[in-house]
Structure 1
Amino acid sequence: MAVTPPVCDFGAPWHDFTLPGTDGRHYRLADVAGENGTLVMFICNHCPYVQSIIDRIVRDATDLQELGVGVVAISANDAEEYPQDGPEAMKREAARHGFTFPYLHDETQEVARAYGAECTPDFFGYNAQGKLQYRGRLDSSARSAGPADARRELFEAMKQIAETGQGPQEQTPSMGCSIKWKVTE
């Protein structure tokens, strides 16, 4: 079932974390924050919405890093129920697509809950002061990739944030698969 997260809560603070990456290192928010802003993405390996745009995500992340924007991807899905989203599969996914950013595993799902992540992909764009300025989609793609020349909404928004500290007032929410939450007793 497709999930659409809420619109941007402008000015909401980011949330610190320490999570293991596919490269064997542990990353804190300070390790990934960029001097001109930070993009925190919640993605996973098996979601068709993510898979339809994963190459565009890598393209835009690389271009944003060149603008001084820090980029990190986090997978918070229940890896026991969805082993294709577990650490070993994440490592293969990062290598297969040439991730230029850390890909972190949120096993406890505490980080995803702190951010209010609801779907994959879910993009949180922060300015240099750690204030939320973008919670929108990558582009017009959905379960399948949009046109090759689709407007790069995430990239344009993060570029604007890097240059001005402010995100666009008009944002279209992302859409994707729900995060696979662990069943609590």
Structure 2
Amino acid sequence: MVTTASLPPDLGQPAPDFTLPDPSGRRWSLDDLRGARGTLVMFICNHCPYVLGAIDRITRDARDLQAAGVGVVAISANDVGAYPQDGPDHMARLARDHGFTFPYLYDETQSVARAYGAVCTPDFFGYNAAGRLCYRGRLDAGGRQPPAPGAPRELYQAMRDIALTGQPPARQMPGMGCSIKWKRP
């Protein structure tokens, strides 16, 4: 089901803390992942056509942001009981196949996704160096398809600006993707 992330009414909120494992079992905390100039927390998964259609752009922007001092992490929170292709073994394969330069973590309890207010994949949360929310928007205008030639790299540019100024960009377009697959109570 396609879901649109709402724009944040609460810019400036601190990043919720977490400690989560990667597919190999190594545990990562938010403090391990913070960048000197900001932090990007992405909620993605392995099977979403929006993520798969944009994965090379996501990886490119993450690599370029890391070079600019922004810490980057991806988190999968989907219910692997209902969607086994989103499990840790498949996460490791996706990360390897697409050359992730950032940790890809598994939120088995979905508590981190809930704390962030994530609703879809991909869903992007950009924080400044002080750990305050400055961006909750889309990757770019492309969605599942490549954007038109010359279209701006919205997430990348927003995070570059945040890294330089510490302030949120004036214009943010909401992200869109597949809904997070929540576990049934």
TM-score using structure 2 length: 0.97
Other-structure match for 2:122: 121
Distance between the aligned counterparts of 1:127 and 1:175, measured in 2? Answer: 23
Residue deviations 1:92-120 (CA, integer Å, cap 9, x gap): 00000000000000000000000000000
Distance between the aligned counterparts of 1:149 and 1:99, measured in 2? Answer: 25
- Aligned residue identity for 2:16: H
CA drift at 1:37: 0.3
CA drift at 1:146: 2.1
Matches within 5 A, 1:1-80: 1-8=1-8, 9-80=10-81
Specify the SS of the correspondent of 1:125: strand
Q: Which runs of 5+ in 1 are unaligned?
A: none
- Aligned residue identity for 1:179: I
Moved over 4 A (4+): none
Specify the SS of the correspondent of 2:45: coil
- Aligned residue identity for 1:19: L
Distance between the aligned counterparts of 1:91 and 1:183, measured in 2? Answer: 25
Specify the SS of the correspondent of 1:35: coil
Does the aligned pair in 2 maintain the 1:22–1:102 contact within 8 Å? Answer: no
Does the aligned pair in 2 maintain the 1:39–1:69 contact within 8 Å? Answer: yes
- Greater mean alpha carbon deviation, residues 13-22 or residues 98-107: 13-22
Distance between the aligned counterparts of 1:177 and 1:156, measured in 2? Answer: 24
Q: Which runs of 5+ in 2 are unaligned?
A: none
State the Cα RMSD in Å: 0.9
- Aligned residue identity for 1:74: I
Specify the SS of the correspondent of 2:157: helix
CA drift at 1:148: 4.7
> Share of identical aligned residues, percent?
65
- Aligned residue identity for 1:4: T
Specify the SS of the correspondent of 2:28: strand
- Greater mean alpha carbon deviation, residues 21-30 or residues 128-137: 21-30
Distance between the aligned counterparts of 1:35 and 1:175, measured in 2? Answer: 28
CA drift at 1:4: 0.7
Distance between the aligned counterparts of 1:124 and 1:82, measured in 2? Answer: 24
Does the aligned pair in 2 maintain the 1:78–1:182 contact within 8 Å? Answer: yes
Distance between the aligned counterparts of 1:14 and 1:166, measured in 2? Answer: 15
Does the aligned pair in 2 maintain the 1:48–1:144 contact within 8 Å? Answer: no
CA drift at 1:2: 1.1
Does the aligned pair in 2 maintain the 1:74–1:106 contact within 8 Å? Answer: yes
